[in-house]
């Protein structure tokens, strides 16, 4: 009989302890957000897709040379008199990229950077293999999840 009473008291104390933990956490700010209705803010060091400020690029090809996965490709012309190089085309293969950030680190003019894009969803293979880095709307086709009531 005594052991049964002990069990009931222990069970009751256990329930109170559990409720205390629940109550304490109910008052805290949630660590989760209602994605995709709320969007997270990426940290400063987050590495998204490779991006470019074309006006800053001097076509030195250092980023292309250092890339360990050969994800970058550029063509450039050189003025024979001034020896100045001009960008012709600049493409990026996001499926090859391992997001190491070496291209950003090596760029002498800070023209190349990894953006904060994390919604890298697409429907066709190839949508991320030939990104024209010179285009302003290069990542427009990457779609966030389609959810009823979501304002884009
Ligand atoms: S982040 Fe790394 S793998 Fe991706 S393009 Fe830059 S150097 Fe290449
Ligand atoms: S390293 Fe920078 S400046 Fe040189 S080609 Fe790459 S993006 Fe352009």
Give tens-digit pLDDT for 72-89.
999 999 998 988 899 999
Flag whether 45 is in a domain. no
Domain that residue 66 falls in: 50-132
Q: Both 72 and 119 in a single domain? A: yes
Structural domain total, the chain: 2
Quote the CA–CA distance of 8 and 4 in Å, as a whole number.
6
Flag whether 149 is in a domain. no
Q: Both 2 and 61 in a single domain? A: no
**Does the structure show a pLDDT above 90 at 133?**
yes
Q: Both 54 and 123 in a single domain? A: yes
Q: Both 57 and 122 in a single domain? A: yes
Confidence class for position 122, pLDDT limits 50, 70, 90: confident
What would the mean pLDDT of 27-42 be, rounded to a whole number?
90
Residues in contact with ligand 2 by the CB-under-6-Å rule are: 52, 57-63, 106-107, 109, 111-112
Which token pair is 14? 């256990």
Q: Both 5 and 71 in a single domain? A: no
Q: Both 24 and 68 in a single domain? A: no
Flag whether 137 is in a domain. no
CATH of the domain at 72: 3.30.70.3270
pLDDT at 152: 55
Confidence class for position 123, pLDDT limits 50, 70, 90: confident
CB distance 102 to 71 below 8 Å = no
Flag whether 98 is in a domain. yes
CA distances from 44 to 26, 48, 62, 81 (A): 30, 11, 24, 42
Which token pair is 114? 């990894």
Task: Calculate how far, in angstroms, residue 41's C-alpha sits from the geometric centre of ligand 2.
Answer: 27
**Does the structure show a pLDDT above 90 at 98?**
yes
Quote the CA–CA distance of 104 and 106 in Å, as a whole number.
6
Ligand 1 site, residue 87, Cβ cutoff 6 A: no
Flag whether 42 is in a domain. no
**Does the structure show a pLDDT above 70 at 145?**
no
Q: Both 63 and 127 in a single domain? A: yes
Residue nearest to ligand 1 atom 7, measured at CA: 67
What would the mean pLDDT of 10-17 be, rounded to a whole number?
96
DSSP string computed for the chain: -HHHHHHHHHHHHHHHHHHHHHHHHHTSPPS---TTTS-PPPPTT---SEEE-GGG-----HHHHH-TT--EEEEEEE-TTT--EEEEEEEE-TTT-----HHHHH-TTS-EEE--------SSTTTTTSEETT-TTTTTT------TT---
Q: Both 15 and 87 in a single domain? A: no
Q: Both 25 and 68 in a single domain? A: no
Flag whether 15 is in a domain. yes
């Amino acid at each position: 009989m005594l052991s049964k009473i002990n069990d009931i008291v222990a069970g009751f104390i256990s329930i109170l302890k559990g409720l205390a933990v629940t109550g304490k956490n109910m008052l805290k700010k949630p660590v989760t957000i209602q994605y995709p209705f709320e969007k997270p803010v990426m940290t400063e060091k987050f590495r998204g897709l490779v991006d470019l400020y074309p006006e800053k690029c001097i076509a030195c090809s250092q980023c292309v040379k250092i890339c360990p996965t050969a994800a970058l490709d550029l063509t450039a012309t050189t003025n024979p008199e001034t020896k100045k190089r001009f960008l012709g085309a600049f493409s990026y293969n996001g499926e090859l990229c391992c997001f190491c950030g070496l291209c950003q680190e090596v760029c002498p003019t800070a023209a190349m950077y990894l953006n904060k894009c994390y919604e890298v969803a697409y429907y066709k293979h190839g949508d991320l293999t030939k990104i024209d880095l010179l285009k302003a709307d290069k990542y427009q086709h990457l779609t966030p999840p389609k959810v009823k009531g979501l304002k884009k």
